[in-house]
Amino acid sequence: MLLQPARRNGRRYLNPVPTKLGGLSVIFKVGRRFFLGAKARSPRGPLGPFHTDPSIYATQPRSGLRITWIGHATSIVEMDGVRILIDPVWDERAAPTNWSGPKRFFPAPLKLSDLPAIDAVIVSHNHYDHLGAGTIRAMAHLAAVERAQWIMPLGVSALLKQLGVPAAHCLELNWMDSTQVGAVRLTALPARHFSGRTLFDRFETLWASFALAGPQHRVYYGADSGEWAGFHEIGEQFGPFDLTMLEIGAFDPLWADIHMGPDGAVRSFRALGSQGLLMPIHWGLFDLALHHWKQPIEKIWPVDGLKLWSPTPGVPSEVNAGEELRSEWWR
């Protein structure tokens, strides 16, 4: 059994399987590629504009499942009467400062002030591209989230409380722990990744993927993860999934253990049961690796037998069983 609660070695949480994480040596290995390929890692021109019409949220999704992809890993999931915000990042940069670091290629299509009422907020781990400090500070004062349950892996609530989220609204989960939000059951599951806001606090808080199970639909949010054998067990125990959200960007062979990339996403989707639709996430918004910015989606796009669900950023889109959605906004 690979699906087990997380274990620690001292203060550091352990991955579910042995995992290599590059240290300072990686900087020397990628230096030349980093400087020579900088231009290709950004779009040639402005993207969008993308805009979300907030009035859409006044009506329930006809299919019972509707997703608004804000960009990268941030999505609003409307599922079986419950509205869940995943990994909120409206910050301009995925970095500890607002003057340097990876900058958004396009603005968030929905203003934070236009957020609809949110029932739950999932924070999968504390990396800057999944937990935006400025975003959380702003959200802590929004009426739209004043009743929301904030759900996160072990140790992450300390930062959220510092950013203004009420302690009573924070719920930490270990891997295999579950909680109920309305009709939807959310379960934190293992992922092969790491945590840390600096070079000195890696692994000190937990990271997780999540299974969302409602009376009519099931969704798997893979968050950040390298490939690992546990995907098969996740599919067997918590699937079949109507929609599987897997990362395809920010990958490189040097750190394949912690980011699966497009080829790994295809293999992982098949290990999860290969049912339903695959939604590629974690691409197109930030320069976080060394590949061309379109390479992840271009590589996964032509895969035979793969049912992709890839919407335009900011467009609330219905998820209908087995029905592909292939927006070409990135072209």
Instruction: Give the per-residue pLDDT at 213.
Output: 98
Give the chain's mean pLDDT.
Answer: 94
Q: Give the tens place of pLDDT for each residue, 76-107.
A: 999 999 999 999 999 999 999 989 999 999 99
Contact 318, 309 (CB under 8 A): no
Q: Give the tens place of pLDDT for each residue, 181-203.
A: 999 999 999 999 999 999 899 99
**Does pLDDT of 38 surpass 70?**
no
Confidence class of residue 21 from pLDDT cuts 50, 70 and 90? Answer: confident
Contact 123, 148 (CB under 8 A): no
What does 15-63 look like in DSSP terms, one character per residue? -SS------HHHHHHHHHHHHHTTGGGS-SS--------GGGGGS--TT
142 domain residue, yes or no: yes
**Does pLDDT of 71 surpass 70?**
yes
**Bridge pairing between strands 82-86 and 218-221:** unpaired
146 domain residue, yes or no: yes
322 domain residue, yes or no: no
Instruction: Give the per-residue pLDDT at 33.
Output: 60
Question: Which residue, 311, 317, 316, is CA-closest to 329?
Answer: 311
**Bridge pairing between strands 243-247 and 277-281:** parallel
Name, of 21-35, 89-103, 225-239, the range with top average pLDDT: 225-239
Instruction: Give the per-residue pLDDT at 24.
Output: 55
Total number of domains in the chain:
1
Q: For residue 280, what are the β-bridge partners?
A: 246
Long-range Cβ pairs for the range 236-242 (8 Å, 24+): 236/273, 237/3, 238/187, 238/189, 238/211, 238/213, 239/272, 239/273, 239/275, 240/273, 240/275, 240/276, 241/211, 241/272, 241/273, 241/275, 241/276, 242/65, 242/217, 242/218, 242/276, 242/277, 242/319, 242/321
129 domain residue, yes or no: yes
Q: Give the tens place of pLDDT for each residue, 317-326.
A: 999 999 999 9
For residues 310 and 325, give the distance between their C-alpha atoms in angstroms, rounded to a whole number: 6
Tokens 């240290």 sit on residue: 23
Contact 311, 132 (CB under 8 A): no
**Bridge pairing between strands 309-310 and 325-326:** parallel
Contact 54, 110 (CB under 8 A): yes
**Does pLDDT of 36 surpass 70?**
no
For residues 100 and 71, give the distance between their C-alpha atoms in angstroms, rounded to a whole number: 20
44 domain residue, yes or no: no
192 domain residue, yes or no: yes
**Does pLDDT of 232 surpass 70?**
yes
For residues 288 and 251, give the distance between their C-alpha atoms in angstroms, rounded to a whole number: 8
For residues 8-27, give the mean pLDDT. 85
Instruction: Give the per-residue pLDDT at 28.
Output: 53
1 domain residue, yes or no: no
| Residue 136 structure tokens | 């959380």
116 domain residue, yes or no: yes
Contact 212, 77 (CB under 8 A): yes
Length of the chain in terms of residues written:
331
For residues 48 and 105, give the distance between their C-alpha atoms in angstroms, rounded to a whole number: 10
CATH classification of the domain holding 145: 3.60.15.10
Contact 136, 144 (CB under 8 A): no
Contact 122, 171 (CB under 8 A): no
Range of the domain at 91: 51-311
Instruction: Give the per-residue pLDDT at 64.
Output: 98
- Which residues make Cβ contacts (< 8 Å) with residue 140, sequence separation at least 6? 163, 164, 165, 166
